[in-house]
Amino acid sequence: MRYKPVSDVYEVTKADYHDADVLVWQKHIYNEAWCLDEAPVPKGCLLIGVPYLYMAGYFAMWENSNDSHRVRGAEPIIALIEAGVSLDRILEKLRNLEIDFECRKRWDESMAIMRDRERGCQIKICDWIEEHAKTERIMSTQNHPYWSLYYHTADQILNVMGMGPVDRTVYKPTVWSSTIPISPYEIRDLGWSVQPDANWNQYYERMVVKTWDEFRNG
């Protein structure tokens, strides 16, 4: 099968799609001005819309590499620092699961945003996310799916094209190298039955120390 990936929709030209039979598209959050009605695709081309995936509420705390490595979800840590709580005490509270990261509120907000993005797309992932997040990892990072969600999305695309599901014995998606650990906070607050990753405490302690240093150093 011939294919041509295009990373910047603003660089799309008629030559890219003059003989296209299928266009799998994803409306990127940073390219809201782009509209499929204006895309230079030929008549009869099958358009398959995939929602842009970004689950800020999947992890209680994480580091955003696209924003100067700013720690997201650190608001309760900042509140403790402002209240004069020592770093050692904050780390103790973290290990004892005594910090409220508002996981349920942030999850609900993320799902509401995802359902809005899903409208107008043939590929649907939100119901699957809601169901499968309870029993298995579905995200590697806040905006990179784990292999299970890769498979689910690819199967739907192939189904729209009249093809069978992905052969799991042949195609093995690459797991994102900077996978964020699942912690007991998400498991407890969201009612998941998955196991926390072994390195969750080290990762979260690093996020707390980073937040402490940034706050104290202005």
Within this chain, do residues 41 and 75 fall inside the same structural domain, yes or no? no
DSSP string, 61-115: SEEETTTTTEEET-HHHHHHHHTT--HHHHHHHHHTT-----HHHHHHHHHHHHH
Q: Provide the token pair at 126.
A: 């939100």
Region of 68 (left: φ > 0; alpha: ψ -120 to 50; beta: rest) is: left
Residue 16 lies in a domain: yes
Within this chain, do residues 15 and 42 fall inside the same structural domain, yes or no? yes
Residue 13 lies in a domain: yes
Q: Residue 32 has what pLDDT?
A: 46
Residue range(s) defining the domain that contains residue 13? 1-49
Within this chain, do residues 1 and 38 fall inside the same structural domain, yes or no? yes
Within this chain, do residues 32 and 72 fall inside the same structural domain, yes or no? no
| Residue 140 CB-density burial (10 A; 0-12 exposed, 13-18 middle, 19+ buried) | buried
Residue 40 CB coordination number (10 Å): 12
Residue 78 lies in a domain: yes
Within this chain, do residues 18 and 44 fall inside the same structural domain, yes or no? yes
The number of folded domains in the chain is: 2
Distance of alpha carbon 85 from alpha carbon 88, whole angstroms: 8
Q: Residue 30 has what pLDDT?
A: 47
DSSP string, 134-147: TTS--EEETTEE-H
Q: Provide the token pair at 92.
A: 């103790």
Average pLDDT over every residue of 67-89: 91
Residue 109 lies in a domain: no
Bridge partners of 134, per DSSP, are: none
Residue 56 lies in a domain: no
The overall longest dimension of the chain from CA atoms, in Å, is 64
Residue 33 lies in a domain: yes
Residue 210 lies in a domain: yes
Average pLDDT over every residue of 2-9: 55
Residue 124 lies in a domain: no
Q: List pLDDT tens digits, range 24-65.
A: 877 655 444 444 545 566 778 888 888 988 898 999 999 876
